[in-house]
């Protein structure tokens, strides 16, 4: 339970600290272009340390990366209080991004090694998004935006104290040398690439989502409600369902439902139509995220590296998606984003499905009957292509 609580606290802290960064940047003199560049710089910093530390955790053990990553996140989050202009904010956000990339892959690897349920662990992350979104507004209202960094830093520090008691085992000194990042990527490329394609399309939409909802008649309150319905559904599906299903099936279901969900947005005559679609969106993301993460890590001798690549793919899509969206909106408006996003999600589904069909076709078949062998672990993907 400690690891789930640490995930909840860290995700809540990240959400609280990140919610008002665009407004904070404007207060310190940034324009809209500067806000976009700030988000890009922070995301790239996370990708860099996530890949490096995730790969290193397979070799040196997870404890040092979890413990010191959470501590570094607490310190670097607090530093943002002292930003005095936009340039200093960029520096502090990059430092924070570097810290935020240290612990996630090692934390997921610890969950796998501890035989924890990955779906329930992920559910507490979704719960953290919900709590962080609700708390951020309250804290900023009563303590200003700088107060959000203080609160987030405190939550990171509590997570750090919890991590000290995880009892993470050191790496096996007689174990095999960890595979390289490229080798792990190639082994599970259909998982990573399908998630990347889908998520680029999703972030094309999310970059302009509040504006689209306002066009349909939503006010600030109902925009917040849509987020709560989405993340609340994610929590329930992740906690109760995703650990019971086959990981490959979960991922394909999530990709297909993403395409269907995005298309329902284009059919909305008004804002009220959007509310029930958020339930479908929560189901699609819960199944996609847990299914993809399990497919990449279960039965994998390099789970930290695989989870690092998986989370880095999500962060890379947060850079590419909004950039593509900014290019498409002037041409076709918000509905063009939705159609392209739905098409990309369906392409991701087809790619994943055809990759698995091809991998099965290339699997050697024994010419003679052989004794029954134990069933492979769910999500084992050595031949997924």
pLDDT in tens, 216-263: 988 767 877 888 888 889 999 998 888 877 777 899 999 999 999 999
CA gap 351, 190 in Å, rounded: 7
CA gap 24, 335 in Å, rounded: 30
* Residue 115 · residue 40 · CB < 8 Å: no
Same fold, 1-167 and 180-361: yes
Mean pLDDT of the region 177-187: 86
Query: 180-361, what's its fold?
Result: Growth Hormone; Chain: A; (1.20.1250)
- Choosing among 3.10.105.10, 1.20.1250.20, 1.10.443.10, 3.40.50.1260, the CATH entry for 1-167 is 1.20.1250.20
* Residue 342 · residue 262 · CB < 8 Å: yes
Per-position DSSP letters for 257-312, written without gaps between them: HHHHHHHHHHT-SSGGGHHHHHHHHHHHHHHHHHHHHHHHHTT-S-HHHHHHHHHH
Task: Say what angle helices 274-297 and 189-206 make with each other, to 10 degrees.
Answer: 150
> CB-based burial of residue 13 (10 Å sphere; 0-12 exposed, 13-18 middle, 19+ buried)?
buried
Identify the residue whose tokens are 């052989």: 370
Task: Locate 344 and state its tokens.
Answer: 């990309």
pTM above 0.85, yes or no: no
Instruction: Write the pLDDT tens digit of every residue in 67-113.
Output: 999 999 999 999 999 999 999 999 999 999 999 999 999 999 888 88
- The CA-atom distances, in angstroms, between 134 and each of 17, 85, 137, 149, 285 are 12, 27, 6, 15, 20
Domains of the chain by residue range: 1-167, 180-361
């Amino acid at each position: 339970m400690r690891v789930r609580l640490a995930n909840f606290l860290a995700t809540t802290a990240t959400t609280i600290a990140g919610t008002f960064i665009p407004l904070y940047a404007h207060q310190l003199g940034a324009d809209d272009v500067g806000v976009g560049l700030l988000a890009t710089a922070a995301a790239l910093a996370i990708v860099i340390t996530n890949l490096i530390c995730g790969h290193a955790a397979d070799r040196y053990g997870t404890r040092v990366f979890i413990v010191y990553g959470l501590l570094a996140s607490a310190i670097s989050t607090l530093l943002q209080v002292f930003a005095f202009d936009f340039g200093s904010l960029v520096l502090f956000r990059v430092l924070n991004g570097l810290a935020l990339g240290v612990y996630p892959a090692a934390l997921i690897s610890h969950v796998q090694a501890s035989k924890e349920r990955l779906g329930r662990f992920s559910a507490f992350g979704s719960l953290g998004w919900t709590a962080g979104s609700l708390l951020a507004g309250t804290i900023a209202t009563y303590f200003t935006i700088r107060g959000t960094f203080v609160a987030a830093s405190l939550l990171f520090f509590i997570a750090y104290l919890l991590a000290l008691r995880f009892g993470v085992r050191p790496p096996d000194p007689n174990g095999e040398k960890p595979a390289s990042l490229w080798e792990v990527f190639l082994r599970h490329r259909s998982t990573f690439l399908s998630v990347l394609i889908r998520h680029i399309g999703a972030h094309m939409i999310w970059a302009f989502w509040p504006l689209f909802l306002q066009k349909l008649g939503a006010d600030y309150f109902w925009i917040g409600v849509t987020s709560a319905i989405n993340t609340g559904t994610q929590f329930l599906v992740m906690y109760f369902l995703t650990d019971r299903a086959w990981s490959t099936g979960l991922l394909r279901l999530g990709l297909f439902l993403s395409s269907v969900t995005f298309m329902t947005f284009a059919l909305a005559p008004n804002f009220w139509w959007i509310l029930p679609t958020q339930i479908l969106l929560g189901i699609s993301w819960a199944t996609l995220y847990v299914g993809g993460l399990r497919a990449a890590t279960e039965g994998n001798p390099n789970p930290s590296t695989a989870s690092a690549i998986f989370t880095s793919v999500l962060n890379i899509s947060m850079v590419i998606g909004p950039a593509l969206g900014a290019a498409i909106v002037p041409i076709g408006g918000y509905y063009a984003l939705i159609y392209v996003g739905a098409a990309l999600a369906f392409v991701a589904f087809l790619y994943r499905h055809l990759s698995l069909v091809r991998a099965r076709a290339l699997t050697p078949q024994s010419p003679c009957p052989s004794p029954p062998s134990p069933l492979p672990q769910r999500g084992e993907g050595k031949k997924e292509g």
